[in-house]
């Protein structure tokens, strides 16, 4: 195939313990480390491997967000993507809008494959890939842990609740990736320098003919109810007594 | 009056317990009437189970050989065809529901609500974000259908004392052939299902090998428990993916959860925060798992676990 499109979302880093703002209007992001959504990194790694096997010519990374998302796109370019597209918006976007934006990008680029993370670790939605596949009227293979291309079709092993499901899909298609598909490469310093020269195009959100979607309003944010630290026991005998006291043995 | 369509989850033979939990969530909407739809190659047995679920008004069946395996691209247009008659469309937040419902929502032109954990009103729900570190209250537009997945761990299954009518639903939509089921490698286990077991024993990276997981299995079998694992243990290849508990694995709520050699990363804790009693066994007394454990035991699992298993007679 010619092109693979990969979505990169800028999210609060995996290792940050997120806190709710005191007024309940959102979460604290000031001064917080931001990164590529880890699942999206896996998506990009898979696209790069497909290209390196000679099964694709070009890997394009796309992000939807503020100017800051350029950082994540540059990281994607440093990992090995050929070029980047930033769909620039100041406001928050919902999953359906993101899918509609991606569809516009798909229509412009005509990729043979779109690879996305199975979920973003901020909103934990797990929606955008499926929505894009629906709007594009193409197959979806979600939660992929193995991917094999055979000309006009792909075989995808999916991590489902009961085990591993294999499906075959016609291309083009949308694939969302799970943790065990691959281990993303580390970026080396020379690659970061090289990435600065790679093209990064900006498209204003308003330029895309994306219909406003019915918004889910975020009414409030609150911390979850915390579990309390319990008792420590000294040995197995103490553990058995404690479990019996609770009626669990 | 709100009317909710619940998409039944099944394996072709019997109803998945997550469906009864999804019905429990739907029943929290004041005055809602609830229909369950069974899409299958052969729906009769599954529909008969669904008809017993309390709070269900009616069970609809759509029988089609194409529905033999739950492919989202095939199921979604059929759900969309039915959805016109409903204010809400719900499915469980399992891999089945997560795969299907965004596709349904996009075809209906609406956003989807993931992982409902609490119903505040017909258009107001709570859901976890940021691996459960934040609870978001979300308001859905009142002039659009609400398409949502339901976090099973937040709900107790409705009882099975009902006998709702079963009707075949007409569904004349064109189904795609671009997505084909090949096979399913299911974990063959005689142990209780991880997602519904009353007791679960989980092992982490500290087990150090697939062979050593036998310690976990032996304890689980003594307790009649299901077996889970941390992401680290799955990534290391000690156990298969379907055993992973946490943000990106299974979210569970057993009465008893025993975490063995699991440090307790926030992504793991989000998968067990609704457990009744959490027991932690870890040799590192600083492990974060002890901050949430009801009962903690600092010790070497290779001594503690066999001793515990033996002491259970």
CA distance linking residue B251 with residue B231, whole number of Å: 13
CB contact under 8 A, A95 and B179: no
Model pLDDT for residues A178-210, shown as the tens digit of each residue: 999 999 999 999 999 999 999 999 999 989 878
Question: Pairing state of beta strands A58-65 and A3-7?
Answer: parallel
Considering chain B, what percentage of its residues have pLDDT values greater than 70? Answer: 100
Write the CB contacts of B226 (distance below 8 Å, at least 6 apart in sequence): B191, B192, B193, B194, B196, B197, B199, B200, B201, B220, B254
Which own/partner contact pairs does B61-67 have at CB distance under 8 Å and 24+ positions apart? Answer: B61/B37, B61/B166, B61/B167, B61/B168, B61/B169, B62/B37, B62/B38, B62/B168, B62/B169, B62/B171, B63/B168, B64/B39, B64/B171, B64/B175, B65/B41, B66/B175, B67/B39, B67/B40, B67/B41
Q: Which residues of B touch A237 (CB under 8 A)?
A: 311
What gap in Å lies between CA B130 and CA B215, rounded to an integer?
33
What is the distance of C-alpha B203 from the center of its chain? Answer: 20
CB contact under 8 A, A128 and B304: no
CA-closest candidate to residue A109, choices A217, A2, A234, A226? A2
Query: Cα separation of A163 and A178, whole Å?
Result: 13
% of residues, chain A, pLDDT over 70: 100
**In this complex, do A124 and B128 lie within 8 Å of one another by their Cβ atoms?**
yes
Most confident of A18-22, A173-177, A187-191: A173-177
Which of A141, A216, A220, A226 to mutate against chain B (most B CBs within 10 Å)? A216
Q: Where do we find the tokens 């009769």?
A: B44
Q: Are B275 and B232 in contact (CB under 8 A)?
A: no
How many angstroms separate the CA atoms of B14 and B50, rounded?
9
Contact indicator for B7, B97 with CB cutoff of 8 Å: yes
| Sheet architecture: strand order including A231-233 | A231-233, B295-298, B277-282, B256-260, B199-203, B226-229
Residue A215 CB contacts under 8 Å (≥ 6 apart), including other chains: A94, B111, B141
Q: How many residues does chain A have?
A: 249
Question: Which of A162, A180, A184, A238 should one mutate to test binding to chain B, selecting the residue with the greatest count of B CBs within 10 A?
Answer: A162
Biggest distance spanned by C-alpha atoms of chain A = 69
Q: Which residue of A has its CA nearest to B285?
A: A232
Residue A20 in contact with residue A28, Cβ under 8 Å? yes
Residue pairs between chains A and B whose CB atoms are closer than 8 Å: 253
User: Residue B188 pLDDT more than 80?
Assistant: no
A38: CB partners within 8 A, 6+ apart: A14, A117, A121
**Domain with A203 in it: what CATH number?**
3.40.50.620
Is residue A23 scored above 80 in pLDDT?
A: yes
Cβ–Cβ below 8 Å for B290 and A138 = no
Measured in angstroms, the CA of B269 and the nearest CA of chain A are apart by 10
Q: How far apart are CA A147 and CA A229, in angstroms?
A: 43
pLDDT of residue B176: 96
Q: Which of A121, A159, A231 sits opposite B131 (nearest CB)?
A: A121
- Say if residue A211's pLDDT is above 90: no
Query: Which of B238 and B195 is assigned the larger pLDDT?
Result: B238
Say what the pLDDT of residue A134 is: 98
Q: How close does chain A come to B35, measured CA to CA in Å?
A: 24
What distance in Å separates residue A11's CA from the closest CA in chain B?
A: 10
Tens of pLDDT along B86-112?
A: 999 999 999 999 999 999 999 999 999
Q: If you average pLDDT over every residue of chain B, what do you get?
A: 95
Interval B228-245: pLDDT, tens: 999 999 999 999 999 999
Confidence band, pLDDT 50/70/90 cuts, at residue A226: confident
Do residue B138 and residue A121 have CB atoms under 8 angstroms apart? Answer: no
The alpha-carbon gap from B105 to the nearest alpha carbon of chain A, in Å, equals 7
pLDDT for A141-170, tens place per residue? 999 999 999 999 999 999 999 899 999 999
What domains, with CATH codes, occur in chain B?
3-168 (3.40.50.620), 199-311 (3.40.50.1220)
State how many domains chain A has. Answer: 1
pLDDT tens by residue, B24-61: 999 999 999 999 999 999 999 999 999 999 999 999 99
Say yes or no for a CB contact (<8 Å) between A230 and B295.
yes
Contact in structure between A218 and B137 (CB atoms under 8 Å): yes
| CA gap B93, B101 in Å, rounded | 9
> For residue A11, what are the domain limits?
3-245
Who contacts B155 (Cβ-Cβ below 8 Å, separation ≥6)? B21, B22, B24, B25
Token reading at A180: 């065990």
Strand partners, B113: B148
Q: What is the pLDDT of residues A111-141, one digit of tens each?
A: 999 999 999 999 999 999 999 999 999 999 9
Q: How close, in Å, is residue A161 to chain B by CA atoms? A: 6
pTM for the full predicted model: 0.93
Q: Is the pLDDT of residue B117 over 90?
A: yes
Q: Which two tokens stand for residue B297?
A: 């035991």
- Interchain CB distance below 8 Å, B103 and A240: no
């Amino acid at each position: 195939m010619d092109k693979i499109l990969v979505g990169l979302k800028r999210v609060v880093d995996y290792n940050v313990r997120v806190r709710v703002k005191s007024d309940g209007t959102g979460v604290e992001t000031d001064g917080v480390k931001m990164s590529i959504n880890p699942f999206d990194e896996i998506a990009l790694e898979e696209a790069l491997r497909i290209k390196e096997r000679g099964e694709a010519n070009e890997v394009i990374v796309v992000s939807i967000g503020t100017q800051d998302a350029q950082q994540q796109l540059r990281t994607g370019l440093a990992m090995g993507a050929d070029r980047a597209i930033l769909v620039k918006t100041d406001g928050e976007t919902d999953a359906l809008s993101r899918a509609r934006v991606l569809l516009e990008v798909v229509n412009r680029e005509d990729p043979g494959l779109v690879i996305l993370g199975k979920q973003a670790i901020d909103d934990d939605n797990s929606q955008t890939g499926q929505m894009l596949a629906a709007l594009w009227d193409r197959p979806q293979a979600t939660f992929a842990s193995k991917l094999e291309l055979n000309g006009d079709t792909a075989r995808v092993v999916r991590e489902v609740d009961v085990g591993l499901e294999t499906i075959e899909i016609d291309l083009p298609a949308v694939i969302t990736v799970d943790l065990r598909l691959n281990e993303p490469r580390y970026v080396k310093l020379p690659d970061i320098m090289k990435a600065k020269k790679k093209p990064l195009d900006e498209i204003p959100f308003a330029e895309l003919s994306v219909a406003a979607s019915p918004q889910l309003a975020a009414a409030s944010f609150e911390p979850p109810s915390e579990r309390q630290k319990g008792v420590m026991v000294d040995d197995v005998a103490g553990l058995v007594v404690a479990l019996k006291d609770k009626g669990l043995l | 009056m709100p009317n909710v369509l619940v998409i039944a989850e099944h394996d072709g033979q019997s109803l998945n317990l997550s469906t009864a939990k999804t019905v429990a969530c739907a029943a929290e909407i004041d005055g809602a009437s609830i229909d369950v739809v069974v899409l299958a190659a052969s729906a009769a047995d599954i529909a008969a189970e669904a008809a017993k679920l309390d709070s269900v008004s009616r069970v609809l069946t759509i029988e089609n050989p194409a529905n033999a395996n739950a492919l989202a691209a095939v199921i979604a247009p059929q759900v969309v065809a039915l959805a016109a008659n409903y204010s809400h469309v719900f499915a469980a937040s399992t891999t089945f529901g997560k795969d299907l419902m965004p596709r349904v929502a996009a075809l209906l032109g609406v956003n989807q609500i993931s992982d409902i954990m609490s119903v505040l009103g017909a258009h107001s729900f709570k859901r976890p974000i940021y691996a459960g570190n934040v609870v978001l209250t979300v308001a859905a537009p009142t002039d659009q259908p609400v398409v949502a997945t339901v976090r099973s761990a937040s709900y107790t299954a409705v009882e099975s004392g009902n006998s709702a009518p079963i009707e075949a639903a007409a569904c004349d939509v064109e189904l795609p052939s671009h997505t084909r089921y090949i096979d399913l490698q299911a974990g063959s286990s005689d142990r209780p299902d991880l997602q519904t077991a009353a007791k679960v024993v989980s092992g982490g990276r500290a087990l150090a090998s697939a062979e050593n997981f036998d310690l976990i299995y032996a304890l689980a079998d003594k307790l009649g428990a299901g077996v889970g694992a941390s992401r680290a243990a799955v990534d290391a290849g000690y156990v298969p993916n379907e055993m992973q508990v946490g943000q990106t694995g299974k979210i569970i709520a057993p009465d008893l959860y025993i975490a063995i050699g699991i440090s307790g990363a926030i992504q793991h804790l989000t998968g067990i925060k609704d457990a009744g009693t959490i027991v932690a066994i870890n040799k590192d007394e600083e492990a974060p798992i002890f901050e949430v454990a009801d009962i903690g035991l600092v010790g070497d699992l290779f001594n503690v676990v066999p001793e515990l298993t033996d002491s259970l007679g």
